[in-house]
Amino acid sequence: MTDSVKTHYACPDLIQKIRAGMNIMGKSPKDLTLRDLCPVDQLHTGGAPATLAMGKLAGLAKDASVLDAGCGLGGSSRLLAEKFNLKMVGIDLCQDFVNTAETLTQWCGLDQTCDICFFQGSVLDLPFETNHFDAILCQHILMNLEDKPKALAEFFRVVKPGGKLILHEITQGQGPAPLMPVPWASDPSISFVPDWENLLSQLENTGFVLNFFKDLTSQSAAWWKKVNAVKREKGQGPLNPGLVFGQNAALFGPNMETNFSKNAIRCIEAVLIKK
């Protein structure tokens, strides 16, 4: 199953695609900003505002060490490092994503001004010492994990006592089966969207204690509706999810809006504490 997930996200020429998009925008690495990259490196519902909201919600101290689990192109890691002065470590299963995350961080100059690094690896076997991080950001990755108890055990192991697990995740709704493709899966074979009640039970069995929970489903439906409206009015910009996912990306917006509106899926945010 890990190989199937890797195949879904694989994009060996992603750096070249992003550079070509930058050229269309009249941008070079010297004047590239995090805002420029948001359409392609914030590959989750809610985009950059959702990441900033999680940073505020976490309430972490300056220089806190944070693991960005399933970091993708590193968009959330860069944003949190710059805006909240956090020490970010990103890990992702896809080597293409890790390579791209490193390059984009260099292009933005954050490799010189922020404490941020990226690793290729699996959250099922994290290459970090026990009690290492002050917090873990888990943003839209659990839908790709079949063995959630193993991942949660690894999260619990590497976060310090009193540390936080910050979730921004897609969970099951009470409606019909989700329309596909969606950003995390082109078909149901690699989609393992959790039921929140079962996930919470697994988290508590692991040793985490729920500190905060909020259902963001209505806001998420509204966000995708707005994204789709903007695309219909203005078209797709040079930097967009299609650079990563190809033709499937054109269906993500309509499908996600429908899935949220029909309660096929939910979006939740939560903070849990390792006691």
Summarised one tens digit per residue, pLDDT across range 184-201 is 999 999 999 999 999 999
For range 61-71, the mean pLDDT: 97
Q: What is the pTM of this model?
A: 0.96
How many CA atoms lie within 13 Å of 70's alpha carbon, on the beta-carbon side?
A: 24
User: What per-residue confidence (pLDDT) applies to 1?
Assistant: 55
Name the average pLDDT for the chain.
96
pLDDT at 2 over 80: no
- Torsion angle in degrees (nearest 10) through CA of 70, 74, 80, 86: 80
What per-residue string of b and e applies to 150-183 under the rule 16 or more CB within 10 Å gives b?
Answer: ebbbbbbbbbeeebbbbbbbbbbbeeeebbbbbb
User: What per-residue confidence (pLDDT) applies to 96?
Assistant: 96
What gap in Å lies between CA 185 and CA 89, rounded to an integer?
25
**Band of pLDDT at residue 6, cut at 50, 70 and 90:** confident
Measured from the Cβ of residue 186, the count of other Cβ atoms closer than 10 Å reads 18
Sign of the C-alpha dihedral computed for residues 101, 114, 239 and 24 taken in this order: negative
User: What per-residue confidence (pLDDT) applies to 108?
Assistant: 95
Collapse the DSSP code of 146 into the 3-class scheme (helix H, G, I; strand E, B; otherwise coil) and give the result. Answer: coil
Measured from the Cβ of residue 77, the count of other Cβ atoms closer than 10 Å reads 29
What gap in Å lies between CA 53 and CA 165, rounded to an integer?
15
CA angle 257, 198, 52 (to 5 degrees): 50
